[in-house]
């Protein structure tokens, strides 16, 4: 079986506000995708489109309102807390800010030795050190530079590499990286996403890369999905999606990436808050209000996904 993770019709509704003024926010709606073994799969989309909510559900930090998550063919969206522990070895996370991953008052190496002990991976110190050296080597950090140091003694890029090494300690099959380079210096971003490719190739790791940055997404992804207001609007091989975008929203995004400078991030936050909220609750296609190709049907009905040229597109243009 080449399928690592399967997400089917995932849905998450948050209720916000007080007792008398409750509002629903559909953070994730009908999201389906799978991640294969040794594949880098990317979820890309503007801030607020539901990426982190999906990551939290996959990691068991949030319960889905609906839908199914399967890991290696086994349902994990409804498992008990005590079963989570063994999964934690298999599915590891990397977060946006490495400085908030580590306590500033603790030496970073302590986290490594503690993890090896807690997961029962190393029985004695020499064995543990060997594993730590090996994982640091995989991310390009020397053990001698790493030991006995506090988080503040590293640069952001260096510390993010170290947090990737820490994620590797349990020999996971799947890494979930939520905006892992957005706080890293622009000049170092590519070298870190390069590391993901390296880990995929060397260890057969599957990686869910979450980003709002199309340049790194294009560079690193095998396949990718573009999200808009909680939904996947387009999914397919990364070159196809970004070189011949089919969904009008993907086109808009792609064209808003300033080229040729790949370090420029796409940060267009086009909408006002109320308008945004209205889009989440819209009846038909959520993009219809801004879509240059919108038709009558788009305002009434939500499109299904159409298969076009190896790409899945949620748009009536491809009916
Ligand atoms: N715990 C929560 N309670 C209420 N609303 C939330 C909560 N978490 C996220 N949201 C809302 O869900 C939407 C998706 O958020 P998020 O998944 O963080 O998006 P992204 O990671 O793509 O920026 C946003 O509108 C956000 O405000
Ligand atoms: Mg997020």
Local confidence pLDDT in tens for the 319 residues of the chain: 689 999 999 999 998 887 777 788 899 999 999 999 999 999 999 999 999 999 999 999 999 999 999 999 999 999 888 888 889 999 999 999 999 989 999 999 999 999 999 999 998 999 999 999 999 999 999 999 999 999 999 999 999 999 999 999 999 999 999 999 998 888 889 999 999 999 999 999 999 999 999 999 999 999 999 999 999 999 999 999 999 999 999 999 988 765 544 444 444 444 445 566 666 566 899 999 999 999 999 999 999 999 999 999 999 999 9
- Measured between alpha carbons, how far is 226 from 302 in angstroms, rounded to an integer? 17
Ligand 1, atom 7, residue with closest C-alpha: 14
Residues 6+ apart with CB under 8 A from 175: 91, 92, 93, 94, 164, 167, 196, 199, 205, 206, 207, 208
Instruction: List all residues whose CB is within 6 A of at least one atom of ligand 1.
Output: 14, 16, 25, 27, 45, 47-53
- Measured between alpha carbons, how far is 207 from 190 in angstroms, rounded to an integer? 16
- Which ligand does the CA of 24 lie closest to? 1
Cα(181) to ligand 2 centroid in Å equals 12
Cα(62) to ligand 2 centroid in Å equals 14
Cα(275) to ligand 1 centroid in Å equals 16
Residues 6+ apart with CB under 8 A from 68: 6, 7, 8, 9, 10, 75, 77
Query: Inter-axis angle of helices 125-139 and 186-203, to 10 degrees?
Result: 120
The 3-state DSSP class for residue 25 equals strand
CA angle 145, 147, 148 (to 5 degrees): 120
Q: Class of the 3-318 domain?
A: alpha beta
Cα(147) to ligand 2 centroid in Å equals 31
Cα(26) to ligand 1 centroid in Å equals 9
Strands 311-313 and 306-308: antiparallel
CA 72 to chain centre: 18
Question: Ligand 1 pocket test: which of 24, 44, 48, 55 has the largest number of ligand atoms within 8 Å of its C-beta?
Answer: 48
What are 230-279's pLDDT values in tens digits? 999 999 999 999 999 999 999 999 887 655 444 444 444 444 455 666 66
- Which ligand does the CA of 277 lie closest to? 1
């Amino acid at each position: 079986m080449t399928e690592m993770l399967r997400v089917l019709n995932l849905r998450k509704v948050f209720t916000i506000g007080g007792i008398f003024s409750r509002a629903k926010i559909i953070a994730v709606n009908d999201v389906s995708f799978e991640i294969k073994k040794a594949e880098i799969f990317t979820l890309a989309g503007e801030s607020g489109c539901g990426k982190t909510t999906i990551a939290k559900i996959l990691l068991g930090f949030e319960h889905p309102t609906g839908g199914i998550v399967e890991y290696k063919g086994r349902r994990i969206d409804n498992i008990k807390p005590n079963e989570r522990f063994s999964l934690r070895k298999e599915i590891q996370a990397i977060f946006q800010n490495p400085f908030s991953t580590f306590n500033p008052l603790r030496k970073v190496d302590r986290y490594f030795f503690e993890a090896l002990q807690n997961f029962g991976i190393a029985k004695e110190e020499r064995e543990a050190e060997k594993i730590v050296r090996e994982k640091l080597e995989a991310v390009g950090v020397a053990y001698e530079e790493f030991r006995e140091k506090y988080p503040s003694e590293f640069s952001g890029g260096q510390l993010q590499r170290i947090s990737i090494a820490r994620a590797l300690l349990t020999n996971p099959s799947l890494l979930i990286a939520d905006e892992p380079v957005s706080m890293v210096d622009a000049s170092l971003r590519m070298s870190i996403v390069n590391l993901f490719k390296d880990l995929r190739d060397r260890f057969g790791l599957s990686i869910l890369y979450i980003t709002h940055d199309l340049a790194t997404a294009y560079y690193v992804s095998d396949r990718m999905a573009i999200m808009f207001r909680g939904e996947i609007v387009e999914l397919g091989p990364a070159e196809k999606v970004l070189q011949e975008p089919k969904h009008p929203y993907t086109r808009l995004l792609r064209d808003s990436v300033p080229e040729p400078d790949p370090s420029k991030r796409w940060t267009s936050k086009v909408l006002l808050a109320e308008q945004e909220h209205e889009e989440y609750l819209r009846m038909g296609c959520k993009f219809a209000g801004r879509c240059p190709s919108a038709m009558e049907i788009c305002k009434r009905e939500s499109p299904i996904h159409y298969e076009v040229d190896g790409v899945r597109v949620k748009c009536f243009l491809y009916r």
